[in-house]
Structure 1
Amino acid sequence: MQLKLSFVAGLIAASALATAAPLEQQERGINIDISKRAKLTVDGSSQIDWNKVDAHMASLRTKYAKSFANYEKNTGKVHSLKRDLPEHLTKRATGSVALTDQEGGELWTGTMAYGTPSQSFPIDFDTGSSDTLVNPGAYTPSQSSTSKTNGDQFSTSYGDGTTASGTIYTDTVHIGGLNAANTAIGVSNQQFIDSSEGSQGISGMAFPQLAAFGSNYLPYFYSLKQAGVVSSGKFQFDLRTSGSSLYLGGTNSAKYSSTPVYVGIDSNQGFWQVPATVNTQSIDSIVDTGTTIIVAPTSQAKTLFKQLNLPTFTQDGSLYAYFNCNSPPKVTFKYGSYSKTLSAATTSFGTTNSGQCVLSVAGSDLGLNAWVTGDSFLQNVVAIFDTDNNRVGFANKA
């Protein structure tokens, strides 16, 4: 049967998890090795592969269209950040792109397993969404003695009326030595993510309000917390060119060299959405490990490009700026009292065919009035996501 959402029940379940944060030394956490599964450049070159970039932008439009649709279905309200896409971009967030997310981006992949005996598969950890979804064949419920289903279906709708759908199961999740029973996993009826680069699905780490499953099924990290296998509702991303990690159930102070600065969020909005400034321009920032570069609303990107005095060009409807690679501009993000300037390596995500560096901040209409702050920023910091106290923390890397 079609899943009937009970958002009030979900909020009660979620709030039960939001206990006072334990002391750092009492946190029982576990480290998960993660790695980058793709790049936006041509193999063996710094030159940008624009087909991958265009696909990544289209996928972001799809992703946020999904999240807004789920939010509205769960809460009965239109999300405050939602903006209508221009007509020429609407179809890019629907149809075949929606059913197959050809990300082509620098997504962060680790190993997760479900079932008894466990079935392992590589999966992208994404703080910009809330469900654990896998392609058909990645997880086979009939091969697990602990798999259950009520026959509940998940369905994600798009602007042109098409849907991606499948069946919700619960089973024991295994990740980094942690185990939690009755954790939700959705098995899609069709391939929805390109598996050629290693990943078989997406595991969302945002809040239940964005879940396509509805609030009767908590995201997997909440299930770990509920099962008591982690004592803290924090998780930490440390993204690097090598040796990246996801730490579940606390913070790993060996990874950072400064005291974390925390900024509060409104968890009712579903996203890890934080007020910030970029070169003095006030913005809303969605901290999203599932996004490669930094994507701003076009008008706000233009303001930054003008401040930096950079020339621009348009590619597939998105606006980019470029500069001499020997003279990178200064792009500084400030969250509360924490300030971080992009490193020279992360100020650009590749070069044009003429050898100019392209700024890692792009302007694009994704259908939301916020910056999507992805990998190009996150590789400069250690980011801590605290579900106990509804806040995001930032610290310098060790």
Structure 2
Amino acid sequence: MKFSLVSSCVALVVMTLAVDAAPSGGKKLSIPLSKNDNYQPDIKRALAKVRAKYGKHIINPLHGVPGNATTDGGNTADGTGSVPVTDYQNDIEYYGIVKVGTPAQSLKIDFDTGSSDFWFASTLCSSCTAHTRYDSKKSSTYAADGRPWSIRYADGSTASGVLAKDTVNVGGLVIKGQTINLAKTLSSSFASGPVDGLMGLGFDTITTVAGIKTPVDNLISQGVISSPVFGVWLGKAGNGGGGEYLFGGSNPNHYTGPLTTVPVDSSQGWYSITVDGLSIADSPVSNSFTGILDTGTTLLLLPQTIADQVASQYGASDNGDGTYLISCDTTYLQPLVFSINGAQFEVPADSLIFQQSGSYCFAGFGYSPGIDFAIIGDVFLKNNYVVFNQKVPQVQIAKAR
């Protein structure tokens, strides 16, 4: 699940019981993202979702935690496939159609590098009436598992159900025997959302039930893609929106300059990197800090002390809830520059403003009280192309076109 400012939610999981970009000739899956014209940003909602996702990592919190498809049975000859993805209200969540079962049942799925479960509404869920519900009785490739799974977020929202297996078709690339989390219950915050479920693209060490292979694991192990990478380009609304997930390599049409290789710490199940520092107009603003590259989070959330330093340079005022008010006039705002492994990457002025409220604007950066690492969400990712490599592990970053 993705929240407005910091989209996606890394769960407080209740446990019930890792090269360079691929050569151009390898098997790849391309998932284009399409623009949503109904853009209504909601910074409060975005922050709430972030706190829910990362709540278990709060230290001394200051506040309460409130297509090119083929037939269903086989892959395309060259291992490529395209899925149009909608950017719901621009920064709440990106979702695309994923097909599950035989014959295929189409579901709206949010892709999230900040989590690792693949769950969605099912006919086992009587309250999921606003969603398309997967029906195991209609699939000839369904296989029961029966183990329970349960996720609880720090804001009290929950999802739970049972595990099963089925064929999964992502843009024409078919995964056989994928473990799926069938939802039997969803709390209201999930039940009222636009997506039917979530596909986690993080590491398998943070699945709700231990020992499960994620969809990315199976894309690799079943030879559906030839390299353990996926490139992410998230389009900006101001440039027409859209975007692309490319599984199996990177797409040079969506970035400029060289890709900078950055080591990843995957010990917590996330794509965590070291940012050497931040600067504005060539003036240093912070020392080094760690941050998670999270496609499921809309905002750029920094440790509070660093967020305060950034806000001071921009003349932004702290609202006391993790958000800042900033000038709506981008003429006077210089880019926020990230120094990462010897290279520099920008968040330009147009991305420093997230939401206008009367004569004021909410900044695209903020903090979550008590969390001492950064959550580097779409505010950064919309401006910089990232290739995620699960096997090394590492990422490669370049300026987005």
Residue type of the alignment partner of 1:118: A
- Contact 2:21/2:250, CA 8 A, preserved across alignment: no
Q: What are the within-5 Å matches in structure 2 for residues 127-206 of structure 1?
A: 127-137=113-123, 138-157=133-152, 164-192=159-187, 194=190, 198-206=194-202
Residue 305 (structure 1) aligned with residue 295 (structure 2): no
1:115 aligns with 2:101: yes
**Residues 160/60 of structure 1: CA separation in 2 closer, same or farther (3 Å cut):** closer
**Does the residue aligned with 1:179 lie in a helix, a strand or coil?**
strand
Q: Does 1:83 align with 2:58?
A: yes
Alpha-carbon distance in 2 for matches of 1:231, 1:167: 31
Residue identity matched to 1:345: D
Aligned residues: 345
- Does the Cα contact within 8 Å between 2:117 and 2:199 map onto a contact in 1? yes
Distance change >3 Å, CA 238–CA 23, structure 1 → 2: closer
Is the alpha carbon distance of 1:86 and 1:286 closer, same or farther for their aligned partners in structure 2, counting shifts above 3 Å? same
Would the alpha carbon gap of residues 116 and 36 (structure 1) be closer, same or farther in structure 2, given more than 3 Å must change?
A: same
Structure-2 change in CA distance of 1:40 and 1:368 (3 Å): farther
CA separation of 1:54 and 1:161: change in aligned 2, threshold 3 A: closer
After superposition, what is the alpha-carbon deviation per residue over 1:27-86, rounded to whole angstroms, capped at 9, x for unaligned?
211211224669773xxxxxxx6xx32222111111123xx5xxxxxxxxxxxxx33352
Q: Which whole-Å deviations, capped at 9, do the CAs of 1:99-146 have from their partners, x for residues lacking one?
A: xxx999432111111111111111111111111111234212221111
- 2:282 is the alignment partner of 1:296: no
**Structure that is richer in helix per residue:** 1
Return closer, same or farther for 1:190/1:302 CA change in 2, 3 Å cut-off.
same
Residue identity over aligned pairs, in percent, reads 27
Q: Distance in 1 between matches of 2:89 and 2:23?
A: 36
Unaligned regions of 5+ residues in structure 2, if any?
1-13, 67-87, 124-132
Matching of residue 335 in structure 1 with residue 340 in structure 2:
yes
Task: Report what 1:63 is aligned to.
Answer: 53
CA contact (8 A) 1:26 1:231 kept: no
SS in 1 for 2:103: coil
TM-score relative to the length of structure 2: 0.78
Is the Cα contact below 8 Å between 2:102 and 2:167 reproduced in 1?
yes
1:175 CA displacement: 0.5
Shift of 1:364: 2.3
Residue of structure 1 equivalent to 2:85: none
Task: Provide, for residues 159-210 of structure 1, a one-character-per-residue CA deviation record: whole Å limited to 9, x for no partner.
Answer: 6988531111111110111001111211212235546663111111111122
Q: Which amino acid aligns with 2:248?
A: G
**More deviation, 124-133/341-350:** 341-350
Return the alpha-carbon distance in structure 2 between the equivalents of residues 188 and 38 of structure 1: 30
Alpha-carbon distance in 2 for matches of 1:158, 1:3: 13
Higher strand share: 2
Aligned to 2:290: 284
Please state whether the residue corresponding to 2:185 is helix, strand or coil.
coil
Q: Look up the match of 2:366.
A: 362
Q: TM-score, normalised by structure 1?
A: 0.79
**Contact in 2 for aligned 1:36/1:109 (Cα 8 Å):** no
CA distance 1:111–1:392, change in 2 (3 Å): same
Instruction: Determine the C-alpha separation between the residues in 2 that align with 1:160 and 1:202.
Output: 18
Q: Residues 190 and 221 of structure 1: is their aligned pair in 2 closer, same or farther, counting only changes over 3 Å?
A: same
Contact kept? 2:297, 2:375, Cα under 8 Å: yes
2:207 to 178, 196, 211: 211
1:149 deviates by 2.1
**Over aligned residues, Cα RMSD in angstroms?**
2.7
For 1:350, the equivalent position in structure 2 comes to 355
Contact map agreement 1:40 1:53 (CA 8 A) in 2? no
- 2:235 maps to 240
Unmatched runs of 5 consecutive residues or more in structure 1 = 6-17, 42-48, 69-81, 93-101
Q: Is the alpha carbon distance of 1:287 and 1:231 closer, same or farther for their aligned partners in structure 2, counting shifts above 3 Å?
A: same
Contact residue 43 and residue 355 of structure 2 kept, 8 A: no
SS of 2:227's partner is coil
In structure 1, how many angstroms separate the alpha carbons of the residues matched to 2:59 and 2:101?
A: 41
- Alpha-carbon distance between aligned partners in 2 of 1:107 and 1:38, rounded to the nearest angstrom: 14
Measured after TM superposition, the shift of residue 3 of structure 1 is 7.5
